[in-house]
Structure 1
Amino acid sequence: MKKHLLFALLVPYFAFTQEVALLNTDSILTVLEGEIAIREAYVQKKLATLDAYKSSLSKSTSLTDKYKACWHIVDQYKSFQYDSAFFYSLKLSDLAYQIGSFECIQTARIKTAFVLESGGLLKEAADTLEAVDLTNMPDSIRSEFYSVTTRLYDFMAYFVKDFYYAKIYQQRSRDYMNRELALHSPSSLRSHFIRIQINQAEGDFEETERVYLSMVKNFNLTHHQLAMRSYDMGVVFDEKFPEKAIYYKALSAINDIRGAVKENVSMRELAESLFRKGDLRRSSLFIKQALDDANFYSSRLRKVEVSDILPIIEGKQYQELESRNTRVISYSYIITLLVLFLALFLFIIFRQLSKLRISKRSLDTANESLFNANHKLEESNKIKEAYIGQFFNLISEHLFKTEKLVTSINRKLSQRKFDDLSEITDNINSFKERELLYKNFDDMFLNLFPDFIEKLNGLLKANDQLDPHMKLLTPEIRIYALLRLGINDNNQIARLLNYSINTIYTYKTRLKNKAIDPETFEESIIEI
């Protein structure tokens, strides 16, 4: 930030070519963004200055001292806040009449006219200037009168929206500039100001820049003075050298902020220039700042100017945002498809790798006797997998028998051999089949978890221990064996064991009550 601030302070002293402006535009816009971020500090400094003058006004006892303090207050407020500027300009006029000084009265009228112009009350400003009497007035007051009148006709030419009258007002503006120029020495600061304005109005950008650089080199300018003349430079370069125009308008806007000038043009025109260039982010930032300034100053003219361009910039930015969102959504769809294809590709690869690993395990099984304890543990895991597979094979075989039996019954029914049905049903011993199923389940489960009973005893109270050598499981233990296998739905367990739901709850509660910690009993079973 310090580098950018130093750059902004030094740039007026450089010889500006079109190429240099092109190189420096982005840097000075960055400086401007930084100044916007700290603009409140400059406002507070301005308010502190105003407080000092107001204190002097209230404490002064002589009308002359009060007039001087009030003059400074109007000078500070005139480009800062319209309502206050107008209030103190009226107070300045009142003090001038109290003093009875003809010169002070004319000065107060000129100050009031300037404030009215800034507030957009052009007719009232013209009437006030009409009342000014320059008889025997010094050149300093004549110069200020011509300057304020020039400004009035510039405003009228800008807002009349009629080519015929605009030309008339522009000519009157130049007439008053020439009158003022005749009052000053060619080497004076005011002469430089006026010549820049005249050359700018005539579109002579080379002479405008020459005078500008001479002025910056030879005079110690205030922020407000540098802002005004830099704006003139931006206007003169607008058509032929837009980048250079942006540079000078940015320089003007920076000095407006540093001088706490709220009645300004540079920020709005800079936003328009950047909008035409396609820099929507900065143009939106600067037009909003211009609107803040116009609202703070309470300038009707500036509010109208900003309101003309603000919806266009914001609308374009909204369109750009919508377009960007559309692109993001499109990119998201593409990325999602790519991710899905990648996931599918990885799935196929992992499945092939899984098949390769299974094949490798099958080959390793033949050499298990040579492995260490970890390999034996792996062998045990494979055996468990094999038993689980066998258990499901038994279930499949049982289903096959059932389907075969159903087929046989259907055949007898279709052949109307009803007497043979009793022979088929006599051969069915469902109790024996279920007992065989339980035995096969118990054998396979205890082979899978040979230490299940031992670890289960570790969860039970000492006087409720189970036989560690049991070969067949009790109904209670069989329920928790299914729970250990991951079957935790009571309805499913009831269907598998051919019990009612209430019986399942009874058996589970009976064994749980024997546990050392009934609350964590089922969780402990799952971890065996």
Structure 2
Amino acid sequence: MKIYLILICAILFPAGMYASVNDSLLNKLDLAIASKQYYYALKANKITALKNKLTGTFSREEEYTINQQLFEEYRKFRIDSALYYVTRNIELAELLKQPDLQQRATLQQAHLYSSTGRYLEAGKILDRIRPAELPRGLKELYFEYYYRLLEHYTTNNVNEAYKRQIEVYRDSLLNILDPATDTYKINLAQHYLYHNQVGKADTLLQELLGKISSSKDDYAMVTYLIGEIFTNKKMYDKAEEFYTRAAIADIENAINDHGAIQNLSINFYYSGNIDRAYRYAKSALEDAIFCNVKFRTLIMSEFYSIINAAYQEKAEKNRRQLKNYLVLISILSLFLIGAVVYVYRQMRRISRVKETLLQTGRQLEQLNGQILQANEQLRSSNDQLQESNQVKQEYIAQFFDICSSYIDKLENYRKMLNKHAIAKQFEELSRILKSTDFTNTEIQGLYRRFDLIFIHLYPDFVEAFNGLLLPEERIMLKEGETLNTELRIFALERLGITDSVRIAAFLRCSISTVYNYRTKARNRSAVSREAFDEQISKIGRSLGSFQR
């Protein structure tokens, strides 16, 4: 198997025929690989939302539909989980006595069996089904899953007869697919490639590429096939580019059944970039094992051992080079030590001459330092006064505006209550008096106004505050938010209001809540507690920024 794999790779990627993919695209792939857990989490959230629908009361039909959705999410992510929901759907279809639903689930089960290497079981299931008796939608699945079974099997067991049979089933699928669908066009492109009609396949795939979003599964397949076309044309730099795009799309969509990154790994191995070959092969093998895609696991486990051996050999060579470098550095260090000793003796001689000048210079430096310190204190005091005046001006103006606005609102509120009282609408009057909507609205309005005034005075407050926190602990505001409760507490501190009682009264929360927010923020800070409090008080504009 290993010899066969090496020969195939050598034919596909002859030595000396490689060009580098755009570094930014490869860097994006490296970032995607490093962020796989993030994309897994997005997929897990989507799956969890579907599973939550299976709690409570639901009908068998509804459970079948949800299980079908879970199958779609899992089938290229984690096959064992997909198999669980398909098996459950077979049971549900039997209970519902709906043959079409049972046949759909059975076809899906056969497809999953073929992906996990259970070829005999998959073949037996498909052979028991009579495609002529299936409705159109299930016929499509039958022909697709049958040629997928043959593809999976021939991946590790090359057989020309099976390849011809794949095309027979693909042709049957093309005969019943809607020509307007992307699925039809992708299968037609593969048909063209099998018959060496590369030009037709390229035209069709380039047309598809222009309209398919990278968030769709078909994008990875289209870019992968374009990569195959460029490989066929011996344009290896372009092939690598499209393999890279396909690999990025697969990882970002949490698809673990993918072949593009395998081709990239092979390509980089034969171009001599062992580090990337090892990294991509390792990633591909991890994904295949996690997904339980047996045919890909077999391919990559064979090739991974080859790459790993080359990687270890390179690492050993680097270690030998490092050892040689260390010896050389040690020798140079001895010369350097001798030079340092010589220079040191010369410097001691010169230092005796300069000692008097240095003492005078130190005295001048001390005097200059004292003057600079006095100037700094004066500048700091001026900054604080300037800032204090600015804050006072802003808040006094806003205070009068708010008071005037609240007087008008209270007058309108009084008139409205009086109107209900005159009309003897006591129930309505009681409802209004019991409701806290007016108060809550005004409080939220007050907070919004406070936020806007404060951010106007200190536009960089949120960014500066987050800069004091550890990167993973930084505050992310929701859409539409200017400040949240935690930021308001420290905004009030920045304004000089440090009393927890006053802060709690303004924010309408308990003193313990204020204390907890303060404590948590200090625990999450990237600096010491004392430095954190000091830096909070320094957040704001410079003196020059207050000048108008």
Aligned equivalents of 1:203 and 1:231: distance in 2? 17
Where in structure 2 are the equivalents of 1:331-342 lying within 5 Å?
331-341=325-335
Task: Give the conservation status (yes or no) of the 8 Å contact 1:287–1:306.
Answer: yes
Following the alignment from structure 2 to structure 1, what is the Cα–Cα distance between the partners of residues 99 and 47? Answer: 27
The separation in 1 between residues aligned to 2:87 and 2:343, in whole angstroms, is 87
State whether structure 2 residue 180 is matched by structure 1 residue 187.
Answer: yes
Q: Which runs of at least 4 in structure 1 moved beyond 6 Å after TM superposition? A: 345-351
Paired residue for 2:110? 113
**Gaps in structure 1 of 5+ consecutive residues:** 1-20, 365-372, 375-528
Of 210, 214, 230 in structure 2, the residue corresponding to residue 237 of structure 1 is 230
Residues 1:259 and 1:242: Cα distance change in structure 2 (over 3 Å):
same
- Equivalent residue for 1:466? none
Cα deviation for residue 246 of structure 1 reads: 1.8
Equivalent of 2:308 in 310, 314, 317: 314
Question: Partners of 2:82 and 2:212 in 1: how far apart?
Answer: 28
Quick check: 1:118–1:263 contact (8 Å CA) kept in 2?
A: no
How big is each residue's C-alpha offset from its partner over 1:155-183, in whole Å with a ceiling of 9 and x where there is no partner?
A: 2222214xxxx101100111111111122
Find the aligned partners of 2:21 and 2:270 in 1 and give their Cα distance. 19
Q: 1:307 to 1:327 in 2, by over 3 A?
A: same
Report SS of the residue matched to 1:79: coil
Pairs within 5 Å for 1:209-220:
209-220=202-213
Q: 1:396 maps to what in 2?
A: none
Larger radius of gyration: 1
Q: CA-to-partner distance for each residue in 1:83-112, whole Å, 9 max, x for gaps?
A: 211111111111122222222122111111
Partner of 1:69: 66
Secondary structure at the counterpart of residue 123 of structure 1? helix
How far apart in 1 are the matches of 2:296 and 2:181? Answer: 31
Pairing 1:56–2:56 present: no
Instruction: Name the CA distance, whole Å, in 1 between partners of 2:59 and 2:137.
Output: 24
| Cα gap change, 1:24 to 1:291, in 2 (>3 Å) | closer
**Aligned twin of 1:260:** 254
Q: Does 1:96 align with 2:96?
A: no
Cα distance in 2, alignment partners of residues 74 and 350 from structure 1: 76
Cα RMSD (Å): 3.0
The reply on whether 1:137 has 2:134 as its aligned counterpart is yes
Give the conservation status (yes or no) of the 8 Å contact 1:200–1:233: no
* From 322, 328, 334, the counterpart of 1:328: 322
Normalised TM-score (structure 1): 0.58
| Counterpart residue identity of residue 186, structure 2 | F
Cα distance in 1 between the residues matched to 2:131 and 2:249: 33
Q: Give the secondary structure class of the aligned counterpart of 2:117.
A: coil
TM-score (norm 2): 0.56
How many residues matched? 336
Note the alpha carbon deviations across 1:38-73, whole angstroms, 9 max, x for none.
Answer: 222221222222222223344453322222111111
Aligned counterparts of 2:309 and 2:72: Cα–Cα separation in 1: 38
Q: Does the aligned pair in 2 maintain the 1:204–1:236 contact within 8 Å?
A: no
Tell me the equivalent position of 1:199. 192
Which structure would you say has the larger RCO, counting Cα contacts within 8 Å and 6 or more residues apart? 2
- Structure 2 spans left out of the alignment, 5+ residues: 1-17, 358-548
Residue identity in the other structure for 1:132: I
What residue is the counterpart of 2:35 in the other structure?
Answer: 38
2:223 is matched by which residue type in structure 1?
Answer: S
Deviations 1:477-510 (A, max 9, x none): xxxxxxxxxxxxxxxxxxxxxxxxxxxxxxxxxx
Preserved CA contact (<8 Å) 2:156 2:299: no
Q: Are the counterparts in 1 of residues 50 and 66 from structure 2 also a CA contact under 8 Å?
A: yes
| Contact 1:223–1:256 (8 Å) recurs in 2 | no
Q: 1:257 to 1:347 in 2, by over 3 A?
A: closer
Q: Is the 8 A contact 2:244 2:260 kept in 1?
A: yes
How far apart, in 1, do the equivalents of 2:316 and 2:102 lie? 59
Supply the distance in 1 between the matched residues of 2:129 and 2:40 (Cα, whole angstroms): 33
* 1:131-189 deviation line (CA, Å, top 9, x unaligned): 2233443322211211111111112222214xxxx101100111111111122343321
Q: After the TM superposition, which residues 487-498 of structure 1 pair with which residues of structure 2 at under 5 Å, given as runs? A: none
Which whole-Å deviations, capped at 9, do the CAs of 1:371-420 have from their partners, x for residues lacking one? Answer: xx99xxxxxxxxxxxxxxxxxxxxxxxxxxxxxxxxxxxxxxxxxxxxxx
Please tell me whether the aligned partners of residues 33 and 251 of structure 2 are also in contact (alpha carbons under 8 angstroms): yes
From 259, 263, 267, give the equivalent of 1:269.
263
SS across alignment from 1:238: helix
In structure 1, how many angstroms separate the alpha carbons of the residues matched to 2:208 and 2:332? 63
CA contact (8 A) 1:83 1:298 kept: yes
1:263 is paired with a residue whose SS is coil
**Preserved contact between residue 209 and residue 233 of structure 1 (Cα < 8 Å):** yes
Equivalents in 2 of 1:288, 1:23: separation in Å?
A: 20
Distance in 2 between residues matched to 1:109 and 1:34, nearest whole Å? 39
The reply on whether 1:177 has 2:170 as its aligned counterpart is yes
- Map 1:291-306 → 2, pairs under 5 A: 291-306=285-300
